[in-house]
Chain A
Amino acid sequence: MRKYSVFAVAREAMRSHKGWEQQWTSPEPRSSYDVIIIGGGGHGLGAAYYLAKEHGITNVAVIEKGWLGGGNTGRNTTIIRSNYLYEESMDIYEHSLKLWEGLSQDLNYNVMYSPRGVMMLSHNTHDMQSFKRHINANRLYGIDNEWLTPEEAKKFCPPLDISKTARYPINGAALQKRGGTARHDAVAWGYARAASDRGVHIIQNTEVTGIRRGPNGEVTGIETNRGFIGAKKIGVSAAGHSSVVMQMADVRVPLTSNPLQALVSEPLKPIFPCVVMSNTVHAYISQSDKGELVIGAGTDQYHSYSQTGGLQIITHTLDAICELFPIFRRVKMMRQWGGITDNTPDRSAIQSVTPVPNLFVNCGWGTGGFKATPGSANLFAWLIAKGEPHRLAQGLTLDRFRTGRLIDEAAAAAVAH
């Protein structure tokens, strides 16, 4: 792989960019692999990369139904943070955040990790109690997260309305300065390029139609629209389609797939320096490097694989955005779209062995999948390589739905009394 650098760009500029190689290759599949990863999003590509890099397993294929990064990787609002409440969540998201910090250099691909700060707005006593609980837990765990007064919040994000007359006045905010954004496509492409360079086969436009099992129930390979491909181990990282793939191996998972919508505005000169979220009024917003305001809307209520959703979800979100930032009422929505999130009952992910030998699953990331990408991929690679979860991912197994040991981040942010 030829290294990317400012010198390489300069050299290519001199010869009309004729010398760039393909970022990844598209080989014909082998008859079998040591590991097949189903799902060519950031998590799957990353897992393949770390299998090769950290575990020396290079006879790996990533099978993608469509195009790389075409699922939630390329459809999310790219927020990165690690200030979760429970140890299990902090472990994985902080592991991820640390990997984000060096990811561009590790992959030799600028993923544009931009630690511009993620600020969560507090609107009432209940928010304040909940945020301070997070802040204290984060601090004792070694994760940055701080409390801001409304004035400090306004200073950090000047468009914010902190007037007392707002419908839900802001009484403070929690800020994780290391939180921020990254360029979503670059994550998929960077992992694909680095994995491909280490010998991983990236196989696009190939749909898995079945999972073949051996005499002891163990997986032996996958059926695809291009024929059978053998595998000693299979890792499923199919996000919204996880239930569908797992059913091929007769494994039921506690997931509901919901449309999640987002929208961008027309491009504007820099006006919004950070990421702002508000749970009380349901909104999150940042501004992309191109100048678009990137706004995450809520999930549609019903289960669906349609990648579309209702207009009311968008308008509801914009209600809140314009309430927090009244100067944006004249800004225009340029594009809206939807992805499919796979949600678990406790809103925490699943990374687990399964009842089927040599079948591993990574799913249930809900709305938090992008920020988890490097950490999840890294620990999923460990799980597949070692056959048991890494210390940092022990709480994420399927068994918790039997024992009741849930990691209920949603409940922890319980509604007001």
Chain B
Amino acid sequence: MLLIHCPYCRDDRSELEFRWAGEAHIARPEQISEISDEAFSEYFFMRDNTKGIAWERWRHIHGCGRFFNAIRDTVSDKFLLTYKAGLPRQPVPGTETAGVETVEGGAA
């Protein structure tokens, strides 16, 4: 059972309170009705399914109710960072580009 840091509750909470919500930073196309079948398939179905560091969404569904983003290693299941929805894709903590933007968050 994972322990997840909710960036809104600023608290480490049991996985029981959360629901996984798929890969993060897949924006719904602006003019969705205009895109091609291939582009729709890419948007709606195709996934990186990364082995290693992945960006994903969670919802603290039985807590504050908010969706948020997380960086997690899908091999070790360790969270590296969680951050609020709406923020751009955050760099992996400890890498060169990390720390450029300040985000409210933290790893559980």
Contacts and interface: CB of A to CB of B under 8 A. Distances in A.
A282 B72 CA distance: 28
A254 B46 CA distance: 4
Contact of B19 (A244, A257, A301): A301
Interface in B37-55: 37-38, 41-42, 44-51, 54
25 contacts: A241-B51, A243-B50, A244-B49, A252-B42, A253-B49, A254-B46, A254-B47, A255-B49, A256-B22, A256-B47, A256-B49, A257-B51, A257-B74, A301-B19, A302-B2, A302-B56, A302-B72, A303-B23, A303-B56, A304-B75, A305-B51, A308-B77, A310-B1, A401-B41, A401-B46
Nearest to B54: A303
B76 interface: yes
A306 B75 contact: yes
Contacts of B15: 310, 312
Contact of A304 (B1, B38, B46, B74): B74
A303 B38 contact: no
Contacts of A401: 41, 45-46
Interface string B1-23: 11000000000000110011011
Contacts of A256: 22, 47, 49
A345 interface: yes
A238 to B, nearest CB: 11
Interface in B63-90: 72, 74-77
Chain A interface size range: 20 to 34
A311 interface: yes
Contacts of B22: 256
Nearest to A343: B49
A253 B50 CA distance: 11
Contact of A306 (B20, B48, B76): B76
Contact of B1 (A244, A253, A311): A311
B47 A255 contact: yes
Interface of B: 1-2, 15-16, 19-20, 22-23, 37-38, 41-42, 44-51, 54, 56, 72, 74-77
Contacts of A305: 51, 74-75
A306 B1 contact: no
Q: Nearest 8 A-B pairs (CB), nearest first?
A: A243-B49, A254-B45, A310-B1, A302-B20, A301-B20, A252-B46, A401-B45, A402-B41
A354 to B, nearest CB: 13
A403 interface: yes
A343 to B, nearest CB: 10
B78 to A, nearest CB: 10
Given A304-B77, A312-B16, A402 B37 contact: yes
Interface in A344-383: 345
A298 to B, nearest CB: 13
A310 B16 CA distance: 10
Q: Is the interface of A mostly helix, strand, loop or mixed?
A: loop
Contacts of B41: 254, 401-402
Contact of B37 (A255, A304, A311, A403): A403
Interface in A210-267: 241, 243-244, 247, 252-257
A7 B55 CA distance: 59
B1 A312 contact: yes
Contact of A243 (B44, B45, B47): B47
B45 to A, nearest CB: 4
Nearest to A406: B45
Contacts of B19: 301
Interface in A278-324: 301-306, 308, 310-312
A256 B51 CA distance: 11
A69 B51 CA distance: 21
A391 B78 CA distance: 44
Given A303-B56, A402-B38, A257 B49 contact: yes
B47 A244 contact: no
A303 to B, nearest CB: 6
Contacts of A301: 19-20
B49 A306 contact: no
A252 B47 CA distance: 7
Nearest to A246: B49
Contacts of B48: 243, 247, 252
Contacts of B37: 402-403
Nearest to B39: A402
B107 to A, nearest CB: 16
Nearest to B19: A301
